[in-house]
Each structure stands twice: as structure tokens, then as C-alpha cells.
Amino acid sequence: MKYSKIPEVTIMRLSAYSRVLNEALDRGEKIISSKGIANLTGVSPDQVRKDFAYFGEFGVRGIGYNIVELKYNISKIIGTDRNWRVAIVGLGHLGGSLVSYPGFLTRGFKMVGIFDVKDIGEKYGDLYVEHIDDFEEIAKREKFDLGIIVVPREAAQGVADVMVKSGVKAILNFAPVMLDVPVGVELKNVDLSMFLEMLSYYMSLNN
Amino acid sequence: MKYSKIPEVTIMRLSAYSRVLNEALDRGEKIISSKGIANLTGVSPDQVRKDFAYFGEFGVRGIGYNIVELKYNISKIIGTDRNWRVAIVGLGHLGGSLVSYPGFLTRGFKMVGIFDVKDIGEKYGDLYVEHIDDFEEIAKREKFDLGIIVVPREAAQGVADVMVKSGVKAILNFAPVMLDVPVGVELKNVDLSMFLEMLSYYMSLNN
């Protein structure tokens, strides 16, 4: 992972702020205070201000932040001011649910390829299931930026290799296994049980 | 959220270490170095040692950590040394996939109740879908510790209220909305697009 000035936890919070800003816009609001953002995200107002200071966003004292401007600045930092082309491999229960995950498209991630080793030709929304063996060929046309892996652990490294070979620059891996990818390809592992474990930690403290 | 000495990011890493320790045990290993854990999780060896120092785990210099012992100590901290009883509400694509998510049971989270407003009586593994209106009654018998919400955003607060009333102590919320829960109930929001946004951030740095 390369050096970057903004810590990963800040990026996670920026992502959460950005969601809250969208909701405020939907309600017709134009200005929001750091306290308002704090309330809606469960982060302290001080932390909100510190996070925005990373990119020189200070708002107007006693008034707050212009929501449209703030949202635009955050999306420029996170990189969601552009459209990323996403391919998903593995259409089991979880993979199938991710194809139509509503949060993706609205946040700049467009699903443009879905792959598996079975049910080839089956339709998900506007997309047809393609065989993983055709990934590289289809990638030439579809120019995938980002790949999501939702296959069994034994198959995950093979899929990652094909993605890397096909020019995918970032991989979100749901398989419970550490993958090898070359420098220059970003990898993020998601383990949903981690979230339960964090809750488990807090519940244990209470007991 | 209550005060606790161990930062949340450390808990997240402990969760990742614990997964790696399980894998090492599966391979028949008995001892692991902080460097070994570091390699397998993408965390620096220094950070691994710092994280373990939170609970006074120092290993043996030049030898490493006893895996079984380390795993046990981590699970005591995270609270996965006991069994948590989990109820899930909302059996759409994502919710349905979580019922059988393999990582949950193996890490101490037992799914004991599944609820929706439709498809009542349908079977998922050993469980039958119950109506959300019966949640409180069933909770008396099943004693849910932890609730997972995977319903549309408009329905999420109502479900959270029922869970709280029924004695659920922690909620994992997948609905894209901030929920109000009383002090003493832990809440964790999961937004899967956040992971893509973190990748998006790193991809933007590369361009």
C-alpha cells in the first residue's frame, strides 16, 4: 500500500459524511454545520472539523458548510467525481446481491461485467452472466477499473490473477483468504464477520 | 458510544489477526512471529506488536507467539469466546445471503431467528421465516443478543425499535439510514459502497 497523507479511517469517515450530505441535499438543505454532520454520523464535531482540515475546508464560522461545495470537494478526494467501471466475479447469494446493490451506482460505481463458471447467459438487470474464462477478452472492450471477488476461497487467487492481467486497478475481495497482487493494484478485503466482532467487543465490555 | 481503552481500528485488526491465526492452525502451525502475522494481514510488524501490547501479549523474543494461546486471548478481548445469538430482519438478496454467511457461525455468531414481512414459513437452512410482528414474542424464547437489519431504509427505525424493546444489545445495520438507539445498545452501520470508495481513493492517487 502506498504512502498517502490522509489516513484510511479519515477516508472512511469522509465516505460517511458524503452520504449524510446527499441526504441533506435530498431534504432541500443548503448549509450544514460540523455539529449537524457530527450528529448524523455519530462522529464528534471536533473530529469532523479535523477531517475537513486535511483538504483545507473550513466552512464559515457560525454558519457552516455549503453542502454542494463540500460534497464536491469530498468526492474529488475520494475519487467518486468520476465513473468507475466494475466487474464482479462470483454470483452466489452475496455476489448476486452486490450486482444490484443500490449504493454502488449512485456513488459512481457502474457494474459493467458479471462473471461466474455456471448460469452463463442468465440475466441480472441489464447484464448477462459471462464465463470467467472470457474475462480478459471482455475486459479489452469494457475496460474494468475495479473488480469484486465473491468466489470460494480456493478460486479467489486465480480470479485475482486474471483481473490483474486484464488491467483491473483495484480489487474488493470478499473471499476469506489473503490474495497476492502486484504493487500498483489496490486490494481491500471485506469480512462481514468483522462487524459482528466489533459489536461483540462492545457487548463484552458491557457484561 | 462508551469509553473503552482499545481503539476501534485495533479491534478491527485483532479480528483480522484472529482469522490469520485460524488459518495457521489449519495448516498445523503452532508458533507464529509478528512478522508472519504482518505478512498475512498487510499490517506492519511494529503495529502488530503494538496492538498485542494493549492486552499484555508479548510473545517470546526471537521465537514468536503460541498460536492457540494468542487466539484464545484475542477471542476473550473481542468477546468471541462465547456464543452470541443473532436475529436477522429482512431476507432480500443481501439479507438472505447473510443467513448462511459461513464466517458468522465459525466465529461465535449463531443465527437463531430470521424475520421478514413476506415469505413467512419459508425455510433457510434449519430456520423458518417468521413475521416481524412476532419478533418480541419469539425473542422471549430465543433471547437474541444481536440483531442484523437488512430492510429498506423507511422500515429500519421501526425494526430497530422492536429489537431494542425485545432486549437486543447490539445492532448491525445495513440500511442506508442513521438509526436512533438508546444508550447501552451498540449500533454499527455497514455501507458496502464505503469499501469501493476507499479503493476509489487509492485509484485516484495513482492517476
What are the residues whose beta carbons fall under 8 Å from the beta carbon of B159, sequence distance 6 or more?
B89, B90, B132, B147, B149, B151
What is the dihedral sign for C-alpha A11, B23, B52, B31? negative
pLDDT for the residue A3: 36
pLDDT for the residue A44: 86
Q: What is the CA radius of gyration of chain B?
A: 19
Evaluate if residue A12 carries a pLDDT over 90: no
Class of CATH domain A8-77 = mainly alpha
Q: Are B80 and A197 contacting, i.e. CB atoms less than 8 angstroms apart?
A: yes
Contacts of B96 in chain A (CB under 8 A): 93, 97
Residue pLDDT, tens place only, B133-143: 999 999 999 99
What are the backbone dihedrals phi and psi of residue B90, each rounded to the nearest 5 degrees, phi first? 110, 105
pLDDT for the residue B141: 97
Q: Are A4 and A34 contacting, i.e. CB atoms less than 8 angstroms apart?
A: no
Q: Are A206 and A200 contacting, i.e. CB atoms less than 8 angstroms apart?
A: no
Nearest to B93 among A97, A189, A192 (CB): A97
Instruction: Tell if the CB–CB gap between B94 and A94 is shorter than 8 Å.
Output: yes
What are the residues whose beta carbons fall under 8 Å from the beta carbon of A172, sequence distance 6 or more?
A146, A147, A148, A149, A188, A190, B195, B196, B199
What whole-number percentage of chain A has pLDDT above 70? 96
Class of CATH domain A84-193 = alpha beta
- In the structure, what pLDDT confidence band is assigned to residue A155 with cuts at 50, 70 and 90? very high
Instruction: Tell if the CB–CB gap between B78 and A200 is shorter than 8 Å.
Output: yes
Evaluate if residue B32 carries a pLDDT over 50: yes
Instruction: Tell if the CB–CB gap between B93 and A96 is shorter than 8 Å.
Output: yes
Q: What is the average pLDDT across B103-123?
A: 91
What are the residues whose beta carbons fall under 8 Å from the beta carbon of A7, sequence distance 6 or more?
none
Instruction: Tell if the CB–CB gap between A20 and B169 is shorter than 8 Å.
Output: no
pLDDT for the residue B207: 66
Evaluate if residue A157 carries a pLDDT over 60: yes
- ipTM beyond 0.85? no
Evaluate if residue A146 carries a pLDDT over 80: yes
Average pLDDT, whole number, for chain B?
A: 89
Instruction: Tell if the CB–CB gap between A192 and B197 is shorter than 8 Å.
Output: no
pLDDT for the residue B123: 95
Average pLDDT, whole number, for chain A?
A: 89
Evaluate if residue A91 carries a pLDDT over 90: yes
Q: Are B114 and B87 contacting, i.e. CB atoms less than 8 angstroms apart?
A: yes
User: How far is residue A168's CA from residue A185's CA, in Å, rounded to a whole number?
Assistant: 8
Q: What is the average pLDDT across A130-150?
A: 97
What single letter denotes the amino acid at residue A98? L
CA-based nearest residue in chain B for residue A77? B201
- In the structure, what pLDDT confidence band is assigned to residue A88 with cuts at 50, 70 and 90? very high
B41 or B57: whose pLDDT is higher?
B41
What whole-number percentage of chain A has pLDDT above 90? 51
User: How far is residue B164's CA from residue B154's CA, in Å, rounded to a whole number?
Assistant: 17
What are the residues whose beta carbons fall under 8 Å from the beta carbon of A136, sequence distance 6 or more?
A162, A165, A166
Evaluate if residue B91 carries a pLDDT over 60: yes
> Is there a common fold for A8-77 and A84-193?
no
How buried is residue B39: exposed, middle or buried, by Cβ count under 10 Å (0-12/13-18/19+)?
middle
Of A150-159, A189-198, B150-159, give the lowest mean pLDDT range.
Answer: A189-198
User: How far is residue A63's CA from residue A34's CA, in Å, rounded to a whole number?
Assistant: 10
Q: What is the average pLDDT across A168-173?
A: 95
Contacts of B107 in chain A (CB under 8 A): 193, 196-197
A84-89 and B109-116 as β-strands: parallel, antiparallel, unpaired? Answer: unpaired
Q: If residue A172 lies in a helix (H) or strand (E), which one and from where to where?
A: strand A170-173
Evaluate if residue A39 carries a pLDDT over 50: yes
Q: What is the average pLDDT across A148-163?
A: 95
What single letter denotes the amino acid at residue A166? S
Reference B97, options A205, A122, A95, A4; nearest CA is A95
User: How far is residue B50's CA from residue B52's CA, in Å, rounded to a whole number?
Assistant: 5
CA-based nearest residue in chain A for residue B198? A11
pLDDT for the residue B29: 95
Grid cell for residue B168: 437486543
pLDDT for the residue A142: 97
Class of CATH domain B8-78 = mainly alpha
Q: How far is A176 from chain B (nearest CA, A)?
A: 8
Q: If residue B26 lies in a helix (H) or strand (E), which one and from where to where?
A: helix B8-26
What are the backbone dihedrals phi and psi of residue B142, each rounded to the nearest 5 degrees, phi first? -90, -15
Q: How far is A113 from chain B (nearest CA, A)?
A: 16
What is the dihedral sign for C-alpha A110, A115, A118, A120? positive
In order of A6, A158, A192, the CA distances from B40 in angstroms are 24, 18, 18
Residue pLDDT, tens place only, B43-52: 888 889 988 8
- In the structure, what pLDDT confidence band is assigned to residue A207 with cuts at 50, 70 and 90? low
Q: What is the average pLDDT across A199-205?
A: 87
Contacts of B195 in chain A (CB under 8 A): 172, 188, 190
How buried is residue B120: exposed, middle or buried, by Cβ count under 10 Å (0-12/13-18/19+)?
middle
What's the half-sphere exposure (Cβ side, CA atoms, 13 Å) at B71? 17
Residue pLDDT, tens place only, B165-198: 999 999 999 987 889 999 999 998 888 888 888 8
Domain spans of chain A?
A: 8-77, 84-193
Mutate one of B196, B203, B206 to test the A interface: name it (highest A CB count within 10 A).
B196
Evaluate if residue B119 carries a pLDDT over 90: yes
